[in-house]
Amino acid sequence: MTRRRLAGWGFLALLAGVLAWLMVRPMTFFVVSDRFAQTVDTRSAPAVLGDLRAETCGACHRAFHEEWRTTMHSRAWTDPYFQVDWAFEDRPWICRNCHTPLDRQQPRRLLGFRDRQGLQPVLAPDPNPDFDPGLQHEGVTCAACHLREGAVLGPYGDSAAPHPVRRMEHPNQVCVRCHVVDGERWDTFLRLPPCGTVTEIRAGREGGLRGRSGETVLPSLAELGCVACHMPLAERPLVAGGPVRRTRRHLWRGGHDPAMVKRALTARLAVDRDGRAAVLTLANTGTAHYLPTGTPDRHLTVVLRALDGRGRVLDEVRDKLIRRILWRPVIVDLWDTRLPPGRPRTYRLPLPPAAVTVEAVVRYHLLEESRRRRIGYEPEAPIAYEIYRARTDLPAAGGGEGGEP
């Protein structure tokens, strides 16, 4: 072999090696930002807050505790989908910082990370003496959002409480800690950061984002509207016998709540003017972000079909509203067919002559069936549900009214 040929083969082997490494290397798809790089420090918590458990806050703030208990925040750790997914990814420590963010919720003290991907945590050598497994099971518990530097953050900041209080900068600020995940890395080519709820709000306003995602630039906090939509207003006292105040219900409904998802969608099924096609229009009228939003697992499926007199399908149009990301060898946004706010989408189905009925069905999926099987997740509740169904009988062809038998 000549020297040039040898060099050529060497180069190819190197290339194949790099590619093979890119296909199997350990990977998290986000960058650890300052917002969630550290746990919430609870060492200066006032004694009156005791063990910091939700139940302890609930002894005084009963209604808030009752609401929180019904939410995915309270299940952010015990959620079987999270647990299976986390195990499948070899249990990276970084996941704990959003799913169990208090220092006492983690079995070791987290001192920092060696890498930006969060795959190499620096942990204190000894077990965490303050670790409380019961508190860990509370996931995103009261103190995760409310406790900072020994004070309870609240919207008023001046209530006569037995614990110190301080005013939060803005209620939406609380959400930003965990609901923004940035993706800027050398091997990342995303239009929106992964799970980019906040960036989606900006994209929705500006009529779409192009090019690579950068560090998320937040629009003004007030504009985000997270709390306005996800924590409905209620006039009530904070504690039994306390003054009635303007409060927010601690409900945070999302993909696990069909009623919430239905509220986001406006759909209309019609037959066009000359009766030749069925027309389905879908619009995201209930969110400021995309529909669906959150993890890229979430998606909608759409079917619009024409049926004959015996209910047989003559023809149909199908679609999937999803964000498709290529994860390996590098991370690339392939396409995104979800619904941004304010930009309706229309489906047309030309009607076959024998059609007597048209039908439209839209379903919401928490994750893809293929992914469910791959990670071995066996859910108790279905991973998909219907959010819209409509049926229209077509006007009889030929004009005859067709008398009753």
Closest CB 203 distance from ligand HEC, rounded Å: 12
Separation CA 39–CA 309 (nearest Å): 62
Scanning 14-22, 128-136, 185-193, 285-293 for contacts with ligand HEC by CB under 6 A, the matching segment is 285-293
Closest CB 68 distance from ligand HEC, rounded Å: 4
Residue 164 binds to ligand HEC (criterion: CB under 6 A): no
Exposure of 12 by Cβ count < 10 A (0-12 exposed, 13-18 middle, 19+ buried)? exposed
Segment 127 to 156, residues that bind ligand HEC, using CB under 6 A = 140, 142-146, 152, 154-156
Segment 25 to 54, residues that bind ligand HEC, using CB under 6 A = 28, 36, 49, 52, 54
Residue 87 binds to ligand HEC (criterion: CB under 6 A): no
- Residue of 104, 202, 298, 323 interacting with ligand HEC (CB under 6 A): 298
Measured from the CB atom, is 56 or 301 closer to ligand HEC?
A: 56
Contact between residue 74 and residue 54 where contact means Cβ atoms under 8 Å apart: yes
Segment 324 to 363, residues that bind ligand HEC, using CB under 6 A = none
Side-chain-side CA neighbours of 10 within 13 Å: the count stands at 7
Q: Determine the residue with CB nearest ligand HEC.
A: 154
Residue 177 binds to ligand HEC (criterion: CB under 6 A): yes
CA 2 to chain centre: 57
Residue 242 binds to ligand HEC (criterion: CB under 6 A): yes
Q: Is the peptide bond before 292 cis (omega within 30 degrees of 0)?
A: yes
What is the residue whose two structure tokens read 């249990």?
Answer: 91
Closest CB 77 distance from ligand HEC, rounded Å: 8
- Residue of 135, 178, 271, 300 interacting with ligand HEC (CB under 6 A): 178
Exposure of 155 by Cβ count < 10 A (0-12 exposed, 13-18 middle, 19+ buried)? middle
Closest CB 194 distance from ligand HEC, rounded Å: 8
Tokens of 117: 């991907």
Closest CB 131 distance from ligand HEC, rounded Å: 18
Closest CB 374 distance from ligand HEC, rounded Å: 13
Separation CA 293–CA 184 (nearest Å): 19
Tokens of 403: 């008398």
Separation CA 184–CA 163 (nearest Å): 40
Measured from the CB atom, is 114 or 245 closer to ligand HEC?
A: 245
Separation CA 357–CA 379 (nearest Å): 35
Exposure of 11 by Cβ count < 10 A (0-12 exposed, 13-18 middle, 19+ buried)? exposed
Segment 359 to 388, residues that bind ligand HEC, using CB under 6 A = 366
Segment 50 to 79, residues that bind ligand HEC, using CB under 6 A = 52, 54, 56-61, 64-65, 68, 72-73, 75-76, 79
Closest CB 27 distance from ligand HEC, rounded Å: 10
Tokens of 64: 């808030």
Scanning 109-117, 242-250, 302-310, 311-319 for contacts with ligand HEC by CB under 6 A, the matching segment is 242-250
- Residue of 159, 281, 301, 337 interacting with ligand HEC (CB under 6 A): 159
**CA dihedral of residues 61, 66, 68, 70 (deg, nearest 10):** 180
